[in-house]
Structure 1
Amino acid sequence: MIKNLLFDFGDVFINLDKKAPEEALAKMGIRDIDADMNRWHNSYEKGLITTEALIANYLDKFPSLTKISFTTAWNSIILDFPQHRLDWLMELKQQGKYRLFLLSNTNDLHIEQVIKNMGALRYSQFQNCFERFYLSQQINLRKPDLEIYDYVIEENKLVAEETFFIDDTILNTAAAASMNIKTWHLEPGQDDITQLFTTKKQYF
């Protein structure tokens, strides 16, 4: 019996354009994401380097960039948060049937843009739907590392088999499934989180 719902954020609740940052950087002549850049991204998501350090690394590597041009490109991934998803989540919270948790790989610049796009009130309404609101940069862990799932399970005394995790990245759901957490690999453009209880009715 499912008692706990663990949600990803991007492309589950808020829409993303995952190709936009690379396309924006490519227009400025930066066409390859190399190993150094991937390390910066992962460290930034884990909160191990600051926003200032990330930007400094990029500006040092690519002198043609400016702080504004980089930040604009970086945040171009963040789109809108459809109201019907927030309404669905708020109703789910009000019903009180499940413990609700958020677990997101994100970073400070993206969260700032999310709040700007959503508005502070809607973001607060969203955040308040969850018992715990886990952002990777705040807990120094990121998906799909198994440690992050173990952290959430242990800190909240959850039973893995009673926990259902929704994420748009198959590596993340596969990692959670390896720990006996039930999962849904939600595919943006085909699935919508509001379909959870019909699409995965065998679990509910």
Structure 2
Amino acid sequence: MIKNIIFDFGDIFINLDKPATDKYLNAFGVNHEDPELISVMYSYEKGLMTTVQFMEYFYITYAIGKEDLLTAWNSILLDFPAHRLRFIQELSASKKYRLFLLSNTNDMHISWIQKDWGIEVFEQFKNCFEKFYLSHQIHFRKPDEDIFNYVLSENDLVPEETLFVDDVSANTATAKKLGMHVWNLVPGKEDVVNLKI
């Protein structure tokens, strides 16, 4: 019996244009397969480096200025459909499940979302969840097992009583390995509002 639901954020609630940032940075000669760049991005996503340090890296390495980086970095973020906010508000109000959000989200992205949505809407969304876990605040990232173990342990969640909803197969694979039920949602073909438990 499902008692807990852990939701991802991007392409579950907020729509994403995943290739957008790479396309934008290509013009600056950024090699997205560079191991150093990948390491820097993961460090930033885990909150192990500040936004200032992250921006300095791109300026020193690729001569990308602050405004260009902000535009490129946040170009992945699209709209937040109102029907999804209504869905999570209604699910939260029903008190049927303990609800959690678990997202690989960095400081620049969450700052853009708060500004784009407005703090009131952002807080309405955030308040639907018992806990709101962002990778840069807890220093873990999916699909590593430690981020799932952290959430399960901190909230005394039984994996077999927990559903994890994410659009990335590597993330749902880890959750499934740990004993959770999973929904590997396909963006554009499926919508979280059609959740069936």
The TM tier, using the shorter chain, reads over 0.9
Partner Cα separation in structure 2 for residue 33 and residue 114 of structure 1:
27
- How much has 1:32 moved relative to structure 2? 3.8
Letter paired with 2:107: D
Partner of 1:96: 95
CA distance in 2, matches of 1:30, 1:150: 34
State the one-letter code of the partner of 2:73. W
The answer on whether the counterparts of 2:32 and 2:38 sit within 8 Å (CA) in structure 1 is no
**Distance of 1:154 and 1:102 partners within structure 2:** 15
Q: Equivalents in 2 of 1:75, 1:32: separation in Å? A: 16
Q: Counterpart of 1:19?
A: 19
> Which ranges in structure 1 are unaligned for 5 or more consecutive residues?
198-203
Q: Does 1:166 align with 2:177?
A: no
User: How far does residue 174 in structure 1 lie from its aligned partner after superposition?
Assistant: 0.2
- The AA in structure 2 aligned to 1:23 is K
Instruction: Give secondary structure in 2 for the equivalent of 1:166.
Output: strand
Answer with 3-12 or 109-118: which moved more: 109-118
> Structure 1, residues 16-59: CA drift from partner, whole Å, max 9, x if none?
11100011111333354411110011001111011011111111
Structure 2 unmatched ranges of 5 or more: none
Tell me what 1:123 maps to.
Answer: 122
Supply the AA of the counterpart residue of 2:67: I
CA shift at 1:123, angstroms? 0.5
Please name the residue that 1:136 is paired with: 135
Q: Match of 1:62, as an amino acid?
A: Y
Question: Secondary structure of the residue that 1:78 maps to in structure 2?
Answer: coil
Could you say which residue in structure 2 is the equivalent of 1:189? 188
C-alpha distance in 2 between matches for 1:108 and 1:28: 22
Change (3 A) 1:32 1:149: closer
In the other structure, the counterpart of 2:71 is 72
Aligned residues: 197
Quote how far apart the aligned CAs of 1:8 are.
0.2
Q: Percent identity?
A: 50
- Whether the 8 Å contact between 1:48 and 1:137 is mirrored in structure 2 is yes
Of 121-130 and 22-31, the range deviating more from structure 2 = 22-31
**Post-superposition, which runs of at least 4 consecutive aligned residues in structure 1 deviate over 4 A?**
none
TM-score (norm 1): 0.94
Structure 1 residue 184 displacement after superposition: 0.5
* TM-score, length of structure 2 as denominator length: 0.98
Q: Which residue in the other structure is 1:154 paired with?
A: 153
CA contact (8 A) 1:79 1:117 kept: no
Distance 1:119 1:5 in 2: 26
What SS class does the counterpart of residue 80 from structure 2 fall into?
coil
